[in-house]
Amino acid sequence: MTQDPRLIRAASGTAPPTSATALRRANLSSVLRQLRDHVSRSRADIAEATGLHRATVSNLVAELLEWDLVREVGIEHVGAVGRPRRAVALHGAHVGALGLEINVDYISVHGRDLSGHVLVERRVSFDAVGSGTDRSLRRLGLVAREAIEAMKRAGAVPAGVAVAIPALVDVACGVVRFAPNLDWHDLPLADRLSSALGPLSVPVMVDNDANLAALAEYTSGVAAGTPHMVYLTGEVGVGGGIIVDGRLLRGADGFSGEVGHLPVDPAGARCGCGRHGCWETKVGLAALARAAMPEQAYTLPGLPVSDPEERATEIARRLAAGDRGMLEAVTQVGRWLGLGGSIVANLFNPRVIVVGGYFATLAEWLLPHAQAELERLVVAGPAPQCRFTASDLGFGAASRGAASMVVNHLIDDPTTIMSSLPRPTVP
């Protein structure tokens, strides 16, 4: 894969290290970043890519081997004479990264080790709106503790937790400033979850769900490595993660990507943000359920919480059976999806708009209408070849991206692993 986008924090623009400790940390990070972005690399390749002296790279790799964060993976032959180079790759089976997502109607979990091996993955139906803040945080803490224990049983000590949430998030402070569909305001989510985890003492981070899903898509999705792309969540609400030149566009306050609140119909329905006619009132799963499955609308009291994937699967079943009312409703959603997509395309000129959540489940019915509307309305015409495509990461994209956030944080400062985890024993 091509160079890392540094979606969580740009590496450029930081002051050069001024101490031996800072220099060692930066150099270890440079080596690990190379191994994250490639399946394997020789020491010579790492030295060439980072500009570090070969002897320095050899010493750094030796230290990482000692801590079992990398492993030898064999001999590579390069050049006309087949000069051998011993390659290394990320390992870290004893280091865990836990990603969580809390949304309107579920909590999602994705835990893996540093080398990418999945240790725990699940989704729990949960009515976060009806439960309120305190009960929701207690349930999130319980799910997190269960996941951490599962990771420990698999031999990995969790080195961090990241939470994805459909909200405006102050990432630096871990504070949810405003979550329209959850009705959460100025919630110190990182601190509250840290307290819920108690003596486990695991660092907690928080970010917007669409941003983290975009990270997952860029690194391992259907459009991996595409430097100009937009990811759209397909949930009760709709958010966007915007990648420009391989980097996440955050904006002045970190609140960019709230595309679900683009005003597309001033006379439309009231949105969870308090305004009328937002894009998500036309294309969100709640809007489709209200139009095509009124007996299962989100606003009806007394209904059991239904997992969004189950709702999407039921809609797909009715579409496949030729349900005329469902086909008409999905056609309208597809057209609105294309209209909003054209606004996004006119603003950011992406090569691809990746749709996740229920959009991906219903892609064969939604995307033809969305693509036609996009091509009709985009100012530049079909020449730029912007296209919709369906994610293959399912409803777990955001929690997967949250785990990647933890991994990136650890790679930014590998000494946090070395200082907090027990030294691996050699059998």
The string of pLDDT tens digits covering residues 113-156 is: 988 899 999 999 999 998 999 999 999 999 999 999 999 999 99
218 pLDDT above the threshold of 50: yes
As to burial, measured by CB atoms within 10 angstroms (0-12 exposed, 13-18 middle, 19+ buried), residue 274 is exposed
Sheet of 41-42: strand order equals 41-42, 83-90, 70-78
Q: What are φ and ψ of residue 302, in 5° steps?
A: 85, -10
How does residue 420 score in pLDDT terms, banded at 50, 70 and 90? low
More confident call, 207 vs 14: 207
Distance CA(14)–CA(24), nearest Å, equals 15
H-run or E-run covering 125:
strand 118-125
Which range (74-83, 123-132, 350-359) has the least confidence?
A: 74-83
Q: What pLDDT is attached to residue 38?
A: 86
Nearest C-alpha neighbor of 144 from the set 184, 99, 182, 201: 99
Provide the 3-class DSSP secondary structure of residue 229.
strand
More confident call, 85 vs 396: 396
CB distance 130 to 181 below 8 Å: no
76 pLDDT above the threshold of 70: no
Q: What pLDDT is attached to residue 240?
A: 95
Which range (248-262, 296-310, 382-396) has the least confidence?
A: 296-310
More confident call, 39 vs 187: 187
356 pLDDT above the threshold of 80: yes
Q: What pLDDT is attached to residue 80?
A: 47
Nearest C-alpha neighbor of 336 from the set 369, 381, 298, 314: 369
Which range (189-193, 213-217, 227-231, 421-425) has the least confidence?
A: 421-425
Q: What mean pLDDT do residues 150-174 have?
A: 94
Give percent of the chain with pLDDT exceeding 90. Answer: 67
Q: What mean pLDDT do residues 374-399 have?
A: 88
CB distance 176 to 146 below 8 Å: no
339 pLDDT above the threshold of 60: yes
Q: What mean pLDDT do residues 204-229 have?
A: 94
Q: What pLDDT is attached to residue 299?
A: 61
